[in-house]
Amino acid sequence: MSPIDPNSVAAFVPILIMLVVATGFAAFTLGASHFLGKRVNDPAKLAPYECGVTPVGNARERFHTRFYLVAMLFIVFDIETVFLYPWAVVFKQLHIFGLIEMGIFLLILLAGFIWVWGKGALEWD
The residue extents of the domains of the chain are: 1-37, 64-125
Q: Which CATH class is domain 64-125?
A: mainly alpha
Give percent of the chain above pLDDT 70. Answer: 87
pLDDT tier at 106 (50, 70, 90 boundaries)? very high
pLDDT tens per residue across span 30-53: 999 999 988 888 877 777 666 666
pLDDT tens per residue across span 13-32: 899 999 999 999 999 999 99
State if pTM tops 0.75. Answer: no
Range list of H helices, the chain? 13-36, 43-46, 65-82, 84-89, 91-119
